[in-house]
């Protein structure tokens, strides 16, 4: 079932926005999970490297020049739909790093174990937070490590509130 019917992308929709395998094998890269034609284009304006191409029409879907993307993640916090992620499949032999948008409380801390969630909000793994990056927007960028086989599955985290503060 597609985003239009369920709110969750199907495998074909995910495949269409997944960076090419040869790019992912070489470097971190953006993955923009924007599937609906709505008037929105801040991602293109936020990319100082020109990797997210300018929109001909504000209702267009983002187009990526993966050769220009360096995986910096500047675009993540600019997306009001929280639909932009960075995948780094080169992080280690069996782990991938995911940079994802986060606007919930409590904020995780680097080194903290959190629960990784899939697109449906289902728990899929425990993972470690590597970095918590404050941005000019209200959106934080959280970097987590996951098994490589979950890099295209994990899209959010659940943080357990600490009783010790």
pLDDT in tens, 63-94: 999 999 999 999 999 999 999 999 999 999 99
Contact 75, 52 (CB under 8 A): yes
Sequence-distant (≥ 6) Cβ neighbours of residue 153 within 8 angstroms: 118, 119, 124
pTM above 0.85, yes or no: yes
Confidence of residue 163 (pLDDT cuts 50, 70, 90): low
User: Residue 122's Cα: distance from chain center in Å?
Assistant: 17
* pLDDT number for residue 161: 74
Residue 22 pLDDT > 90: yes
Per-residue pLDDT at 46: 95
C-beta of residue 82 within 8 angstroms of C-beta of residue 40: no
């Amino acid at each position: 079932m597609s985003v239009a019917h369920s709110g969750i992308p199907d495998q074909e929709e995910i495949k269409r926005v997944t960076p090419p395998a040869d790019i992912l094998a070489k470097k971190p890269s953006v993955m923009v999970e924007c599937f609906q034609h709505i008037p929105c284009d801040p991602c293109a304006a936020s990319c100082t490297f020109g990797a997210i191409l300018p929109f001909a029409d504000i209702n267009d879907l983002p187009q990526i020049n993966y050769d220009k993307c360096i995986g910096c993640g500047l675009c993540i916090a600019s997306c009001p739909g929280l639909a932009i992620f960075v995948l780094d499949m080169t992080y280690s032999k069996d782990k991938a790093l995911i940079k994802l948008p986060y606007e919930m409380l409590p904020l995780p801390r680097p080194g903290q174990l959190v629960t990784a969630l899939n697109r449906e909000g289902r728990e899929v793994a425990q993972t470690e937070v590597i970095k918590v990056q404050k941005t000019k927007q209200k959106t934080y960028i959280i970097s987590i490590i996951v098994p490589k086989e979950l890099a295209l599955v994990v899209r959010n985290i659940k943080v357990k509130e600490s009783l010790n503060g």
